[in-house]
Structure 1
Amino acid sequence: MPDSITRAGITRPATLAVAALIAVLPLSVVSCSAVQKAIDCGNTAITVSNDVNDVVTTFNNASNDATAAGQALQKLKNDLDQLGKNSSNTDVAKAVTDLNTQVQNIQQAVNNKQAPDLKPLGDAAGNLAKVCTG
């Protein structure tokens, strides 16, 4: 694995996702569409954050269990597909598309028997959290 891949670099999206949820708690003062966006974003950010952390953990341990790494990546792909279908917010949908691009890049690296760069995946997950809080 490249030295630039650190678990600390990936935990930031999880922190941002929690911040997004805290930011949307006072829902009684916002419009219905904003409430729906907050709910979509919160659910999406939590799911993606958990999946990204699983991918990073399993790829960091891929030499021990390559199958688990592949399964974690497939779970992230499946969740992103589902989230993309269910999101009615264009900003969230774009962030999910960006995440899908990073998943494809990781899969391509794996197919080429190269160590994937996971930092862009963490960055894309962080972007999703920004969309949810912005």
Structure 2
Amino acid sequence: MFRAHRAVRTSVAAVAIAAALFTATSCSEAQKAIDCIELGTQLANDISNLQGVINDPQAASRSLDNLSNTLNKATDDIDSQDVKDAVGEMITKVDSMQQQIRDGEVPAADSISLLRSSAETIAKACTS
């Protein structure tokens, strides 16, 4: 229930920010801002899903694959080098977690926190 409310709040905030940016900037800048907001929302959802299945190796692997796909698509859609660098760092963390699962290990307890921190770095890069 809490996650659902957070997802709704995140989506509403994203739409409000996008609308404000759209009216304050050119169309291409607004589209870039919308792309970043969508990326942030998708990353938050992917990380939340991963947190729920982190102790199930198969489900965690699928969740990490989804997160990896989100990140790889982002590198194609976003022009900012700062954002691409932040995404690259997050991809490295996701790859590390995937390797841990392949090795039969449960990712470290702070792995989710590290992913959230990376997502925040991406969000900051998007807004700069």
TM-score by length of 1: 0.72
Q: Confirm or deny that 1:74 pairs with 2:65.
A: yes
Identity of matched residues, %: 31
Gaps of 5+ in 1: 1-11
User: 1:4-23 alignment to 2 at 5 Å?
Assistant: 22-23=16-17
Residue identity opposite 1:107 in structure 2: Q
Residue identity opposite 1:34 in structure 2: E
Q: Looking at secondary structure, tell me which structure has more helix per residue.
A: 2
Cα–Cα, structure 1 residues 126 and 39, in superposed 2: closer, same or farther, change >3 Å?
Answer: same
Higher relative contact order (CA 8 A, sep 6+): 1
In 1, Cα distance between equivalents of 2:88 and 2:13: 22
Deviations 1:45-102 (A, max 9, x none): 111111111111110xx2xx43211111111112211221222222222222121011
Gaps of 5+ in 2: 1-5
Match of 1:32 among 27, 47, 68: 27
Q: Confirm or deny that 1:111 pairs with 2:102.
A: yes
TM-score by length of 2: 0.74
In 2, Cα distance between equivalents of 1:17 and 1:129: 14
Runs of 4+ in structure 1 deviating by more than 6 angstroms, as ranges, are 14-18
Count of paired positions: 119
